[in-house]
Amino acid sequence: MSQISSASDTFDPARAVKRLIRESQTAALATLDADGGPYASLVQLATLPDGAPLLLLSQLARHTANLQRDARVSLLVDEHRLGDELQGARAGLKGRIQAISDPDMLATARRRFLARHPDAAGFAGFSDFAFYRVEVESAHLVAGFGRIKDVDGAALSTRIDDAAGVLAAEEGAVAHMNAEHTDAIQLYALHLIGTGPGHWKLVGLDPEGCDLMDGAQVRRLDFSHRVTNAQEMRAALVERANTARAAAV
């Protein structure tokens, strides 16, 4: 059962949209053609630490030519429920897109995107490809009967301005967890998220939680509280592991 539609959770529209963005591997990207008409294409998706959608686009693509004329875009993300597609939650995001030029942010973008899409490594360094960030201004969530809500973009951002320690430690912490604590990661997936058995690994950490991946599937695990430094992040990972072990008994 999806965490978005779980009856055990109090419905929080902003949290539901944030989870959809964090867990989506692809999205429909809508841009505006030169004549003003809409154009939609399928793109691979990742996220930056603050939750902003992250795209890798070719300069030769029609959608890239469109967004260079008009930065307004829309993204559609959904749960991809096989066999029951329209029963899954989905969200239409509206915002503006821009290429990432800051060297530090670019390094983070490349690392986080390729962790989720290793197949992109072969062309991510080509001169005609660039990483893009979407600043989400609003979202329209459809998550079931009585759960159709508009969400302001500000509510979808994960605060990172006071969490430099988490951002600096993320790469090393992800590598350490995947090398030394695969058992804890499997427990997260099985007993806190509710997946079936798999070969789960961490592909991202941020002040609010972590992203787990098995094959092409990504699932979100929230921390019990927000963290702002490396010590708090380690403690949160241990707490989640202890909670998962207790649930497994």
* 105-138 tens-digit pLDDT: 999 999 999 999 999 999 998 999 999 999 999 9
pLDDT of residue 9: 59
Contact indicator for 139, 150 with CB cutoff of 8 Å: yes
pLDDT band at 145 (very low <50, low <70, confident <90, very high): confident
Average pLDDT in the 229-244 region? 97
Q: Hey, what's the torsion of the CAs at 134, 137, 143, 149, to 10 degrees? A: 180
* Global pTM value: 0.92
pLDDT band at 1 (very low <50, low <70, confident <90, very high): very low
Question: 29, 76, 22, 43: which is closest to 208 by C-alpha?
Answer: 22
**Angle, alpha carbons 23-28-31 (nearest 5°):** 135
The residues spanned by each domain of the chain are: 1-157, 159-249
* Token pair 């201004």: residue: 137
Which amino acid belongs to residue 204?
A: G
Pick the CATH number of 159-249 from 3.20.180.10, 3.40.190.80, 3.30.56.10, 3.40.800.10: 3.20.180.10
pLDDT of residue 5: 46
- CA gap 213, 189 in Å, rounded: 9
pLDDT of residue 28: 98
List Cβ neighbours of 69 (8 Å cut-off, separation of 6 or more): 32, 34
Sign of CA dihedral 18, 241, 200, 86: negative
Please tell me the class of the 1-157 domain: mainly beta
- 3-state class of 90 per DSSP? strand
In this structure, the number of other CB atoms found within 10 A of the CB of residue 152 comes to 11
* 48-95 tens-digit pLDDT: 999 999 999 999 999 999 999 999 999 999 987 666 767 789 999 999
pLDDT of residue 30: 98
* 155-198 tens-digit pLDDT: 999 999 999 999 999 999 999 999 999 999 999 999 999 998 99
pLDDT of residue 4: 53
CA 159 from chain center: how many Å?
15
Question: 238, 174, 184: which is closest to 206 by C-alpha?
Answer: 174
- CA gap 185, 43 in Å, rounded: 28
